[in-house]
Amino acid sequence: MRKILDTIIQTDHEAQQLAKDAEEKQKSMGQEIDTQKQAMRQMYAERAKARLEKIRAEEEAEAQRLTDRFKEKARDNLARLEDLCKVNENKWVDEITARITKP
């Protein structure tokens, strides 16, 4: 009978130790998972920041290209308008004068 009680007590101690070990393992794994989650968050944040910076740089470059293109078109249009004015200046002055002076 004593042997059976000793075995039961020993088994109970082993079960308690197993439960304690499992609890500690669970706590340790929870901390490890939290650490990994934080590392992943950091990694994804850094990736997103790098990608956004790349996109921002590309968009700025495209905006600069468009601005340069529009400025060039504006210079071309202004030059054509100035040429047109030089060519037609006398004709326009004569026509305006004629319209004003017609009875």
Confidence (pLDDT) at 83: 94
- Return the exposure string of 51-69: e unless at least 16 CB atoms fall within 10 Å of the residue's CB, then b: eeeeeeeeeeeeeeeeeee
Helix (H, G, I), strand (E, B) or coil at 103: coil
How far is it, in rounded angstroms, from Cα 101 to Cα 103? 6
Confidence (pLDDT) at 37: 95
How far is it, in rounded angstroms, from Cα 20 to Cα 23? 5
pLDDT in tens, 17-68: 988 988 998 988 989 999 999 999 999 999 999 999 999 999 999 999 999 9
pLDDT in tens, 8-30: 888 989 889 988 988 998 988 98
The total number of residues written for the chain in this structure: 103
